[in-house]
Amino acid sequence: MSPAAVREARGTPPDSAIRRRDGRMEHVQSESEQSGAGTAGRVPISAQELGAGNERVVFLHGLMGRGKNFTTAARGLGEDYRCLLVDLPNHGESAWTDRFDYAEQADLVADFLASGFAAQGPVNLVGHSMGGKTAMTLALRHPELVERLVVVDIAPARRPRPAKGSSSDFTHLLGSLAALDLGAIETRAEADRWLQEAIPSRTVRGFLLQNLRRVDGGFRWQPNLAMLLANLDAIGDFPRTEAHFDGPVLWIAGERSDYIGEDDLPEMKRLFPRTTRVAVKDSGHWVHSEQPGTFLDILRYFLRQPAGGAGR
Classified as helix, coil or strand, 250 is strand
Structure-derived torsion over alpha carbons of residues 116, 44, 175, 171, reported in degrees to the nearest 10 = -40
Left if phi > 0, otherwise alpha if psi is -120 to 50, otherwise beta: which for 123?
beta
pLDDT value of position 298: 97
pLDDT at site 5: 32
In this structure, the answer to whether residues 39 and 123 fall within a common structural domain is: yes
In a domain, 312, yes or no: no
pLDDT mean by block of 10 residues, the chain; 312 residues = 32 31 31 30 79 95 96 93 97 95 97 96 98 98 98 91 60 95 94 96 93 93 96 96 97 94 95 97 94 96 81 36
Residue 65 Cα to chain centre, angstroms: 7
Are residues 64 and 106 located together in one domain of the fold?
A: yes
User: Of 216, 232, 248, which residue constitutes the final position of a domain?
Assistant: 232
The answer to whether residues 134 and 78 belong to one domain is: yes
Domain with 192 in it: 170-232
Is residue 309 domain-resident? no
Per-residue model confidence (pLDDT) at position 199: 94
Of 200, 216, 232, the last residue of a domain is 232
User: What's the pLDDT tens digit per position in 276-301?
Assistant: 999 999 999 999 999 999 999 999 99
Alpha helices in 142-264 (DSSP H): 170-179, 188-195, 202-209, 225-230, 232-236
How many domains does the structure of the chain reveal?
2
Q: Is the separation of the CB atoms in 167 and 207 below 8 Å?
A: no
Report the distance separating Cα 129 and Cα 3, nearest Å: 31
Structural contact between residues 192 and 209, judged by C-beta atoms closer than 8 angstroms = yes
Do 9 and 44 fall within a single domain?
A: yes
Find the CATH number of the domain harbouring 295. Answer: 3.40.50.1820
Give the per-residue pLDDT at 41: 36
Looking at the fold, whether 276 and 197 belong to one and the same domain comes out as: no
